[in-house]
Amino acid sequence: MKINELKNTAFAALRFLSHAGLLAYAPFPAWAEDTSAKKPNILYIVADDLGYNDVGFNGSKEIKTPNLDKLAKEGTILKSFYAQPLCSASRASLLTGRYPCHTGIYNVVRPDVPWGLPLEERTLAQALKEAGYETAIVGKWHLGDQPAYLPTRRGFDHQYGLWTGNIDYFTHMREGKLDWHKDDKPCNDQGYSTHLIAREACRLIQEKNPDKPLFLYLPFNAVHFPYMVPDNYLLPYSNLKGNRRVLAGMDAAMDEAIGQVIAALEAKGIRDNTLIIFNSDNGGPGPGTISDNSPLNGGKGSIYEGGVRVCAFVNWPDHIPSQATNHAVLHEVDWFPTLIKLAGGSLEQKLPLDGRDIWSVLSKGARSPHADEVTLCGTAKGLIAIRSGDWKLLIQGKGKKNNAPELYNLAEDIGEKHDLAATHPEKVKELMAQFDAVMKTAVEGAGSKAAGPNAKDHDEN
């Protein structure tokens, strides 16, 4: 039997253990740890405002995402992967390995404000560049549009796309101002933004430096408002209405674009040594009318599951189990230390990390470092949820049930329909102690003096 067949047989056994609830304790063969001496290329794809159930691999029957589904099937689907409830906050956490309560990026970094991701924060791009990687961002930045905060000042060798958000997909204008840039200089490329992002990503792969591994950060602005897509993408979705139909077309266009990028990796001969990660930056907006976050409760902007638990998978042939589902509690902050360690980089830095190395969770089914506690920050200081095991405590802040905590058992109630705070006071007390510990180190919002306490509605970010 060939080595790949042996691996697939072993992974099949591991999938059985996973379904039986025993994966976290299953012994894995030594080759599951072998990342090889050759540093992997890293393709990190982020969708914008994509609903938990708006992809086929999570069960969508309405929207077709064949390229994402294939990648997910050939890799591991992450069923309990958490991000932040808004665009900028999610990107800040991913690129720093730190929660919003420590970066201060709770809400949206709007255009022309004199602040962004704090300059003392070390980014994933900086760390990977130090480790010998060629680094590129193609897509949406959204962490500051003033000179010191731009991508090429924060560790990226190449930049292409938009600095902010909410742009016209065809003209690339926002509020009368062009927001399309290449290497952080104005760019007048014409076309639908999703198509342009794919084209540039493919170009970078084709022209990749042969002497360096590539870190390609690919954050699409799809499927974020405004809802716009070429008419041909609407044709398969005549059964849907209004913005739901347009979102479906946008989702399909993004899926097509991702397929083109994967084809470029294959043509370059580097597909097998490329770690591919995919997730949405937050839950979908307008759940039930625009997005589908089922079976989760709530959507974008909230710290209910529908706002922070997102569709996600990881794929790396012969290193990550295929046709697998991992239910371990993971957070996007974890990718910072995990990727740097895989890249052979240094985790020494001034600011402490919230993220934890999750490679053994992904490759060997080890217990999650967040099994006992993960912090889910909302859109302002003090808006926090604490998940511990199957239990989740929410503190929604003033104006929500007189600031009374809410408690849910996600194993029995993934839709967060039954508040158990009144009947489980000891569990509330236990998780409130964790909340209090988080608040001791929580910082005020970055730029809060300039932005004021009432930032614009998140649907306009």
Domains of the chain, residue spans: 3-21+30-364, 374-460
pLDDT of residue 402: 60
Residue among 361, 439, 421 at smallest CA distance from 32: 361
| Whole-angstrom Cα Rg for the chain | 21
Tell me whether the CATH fold assigned to 3-21+30-364 matches the one assigned to 374-460.
no
Please give the pLDDT value at position 372. 95
At 315, the amino acid letter reads N
CA 219 to CA 143: how far, in whole Å? 12
Structure tokens at 207: 């022209």
* Region 399-424 average pLDDT: 89
Q: Which of 303, 262, 300 is nearest to 281 (CA)?
A: 300
> Does residue 220 or residue 17 have the better pLDDT?
220
pLDDT confidence band for 396 (50 / 70 / 90): confident
pLDDT at 409 over 50: yes
Give the pLDDT mean for 34-63. Answer: 90
pLDDT(262) > 90: yes
Q: How many other C-beta atoms can be found within 10 angstroms of the C-beta atom of residue 231?
A: 7
pLDDT for the residue numbered 461: 54
C-alpha 165, offset from chain centre: 16
Q: Which of the four pLDDT bands, split at 50, 70 and 90, describes residue 403?
A: confident
The pTM (predicted TM-score) of the whole model is 0.91
8 A C-beta contact, residue 305 and residue 298? yes
- Give the residue carrying structure tokens 């493919």: 202
Q: Is the separation of the CB atoms in 305 and 414 below 8 Å?
A: yes
Residues 6+ positions from 18 with CB-CB distance below 8 Å? 324, 325, 326, 327, 365
Higher-confidence residue of 226 and 33: namely 226
> Is the confidence at residue 2, as pLDDT, over 50?
no
Residue from 395, 397, 377 nearest 453 by CA: 397
What is the model's pLDDT at position 209? 94
Whether the Cβ atoms of residue 51 and residue 307 lie closer than 8 Å to each other: no
Q: 219: pLDDT confidence band, cut at 50, 70 and 90?
A: very high
pLDDT, tens only, 101-113: 999 999 999 999 9
Read off the pLDDT of residues 161-215 as tens digits, 9 standing for 90 and up. 999 999 999 999 999 999 999 999 999 999 999 999 999 999 999 999 999 999 9
Q: Give yes or no for a contact between 192 and 113, defined as CB atoms under 8 angstroms apart.
A: no
Tell me how far apart the alpha carbons of residues 152 and 130 are, in angstroms, rounded to a whole number.
14
pLDDT at residue 457 in the model? 40
pLDDT at 158 over 60: yes
Which of 226-235, 324-333, 450-459 comes out lowest in average pLDDT? 450-459
| Contact yes or no for 330/357 (Cβ under 8 A) | no
Asked if 348 and 356 count as a contact pair (C-beta separation under 8 A), the reply is no
Confidence tier at 64 by pLDDT (50, 70, 90): very high
Active site residues: 87, 142
Average pLDDT over residues 31-46: 72
Q: What is the band of 37 on the pLDDT scale with cuts at 50, 70, 90?
A: low
Q: Please report the pLDDT score of residue 1 as a whole number.
A: 41
Percent of the chain with pLDDT over 70: 88
SS3 309: strand
* pLDDT confidence tier of residue 8, bands split at 50, 70 and 90: very low
pLDDT at 397: 63
Helix (H, G, I), strand (E, B), or coil: what is residue 129? helix
pLDDT at site 248: 98
Q: Provide the CATH topology of domain 3-21+30-364.
A: Alkaline Phosphatase, subunit A (3.40.720)
| Beta pairing partners, 389 | none
Q: At what angle are helices 87-96 and 335-342 packed, to 10 degrees?
A: 40
Q: Do the beta carbons of residue 277 and residue 314 sit within 8 Å?
A: yes
Geometric angle at alpha carbon 127, from 105 and 309, rounded to 5°: 45
Is the per-residue pLDDT at 75 higher than 60?
A: yes
Q: Which of 66-75, 219-228, 446-455 has the lowest mean pLDDT?
A: 446-455
Two structure tokens written together for 188: 């007048």
Per the CB < 8 A criterion, the answer to whether 91 and 107 are in contact is: no
What value does the mean pLDDT of the chain take? Answer: 91
The string over 419-446, giving b where at least 16 C-beta atoms fall within 10 Å of a residue's C-beta and e elsewhere, is bbbeeeeebbeebeebbeebeeebbebb
Confidence class for position 331, pLDDT limits 50, 70, 90: very high
CA distance 453 to 450: 9
Under CATH, what is the fold of the domain 374-460?
Answer: Arylsulfatase, C-terminal domain (3.30.1120)
Residue 111: which residues within 8 A CB-CB, separation 6 or more?
A: 145, 163, 164, 174, 175, 177, 179
What is the per-residue pLDDT for 447?
79
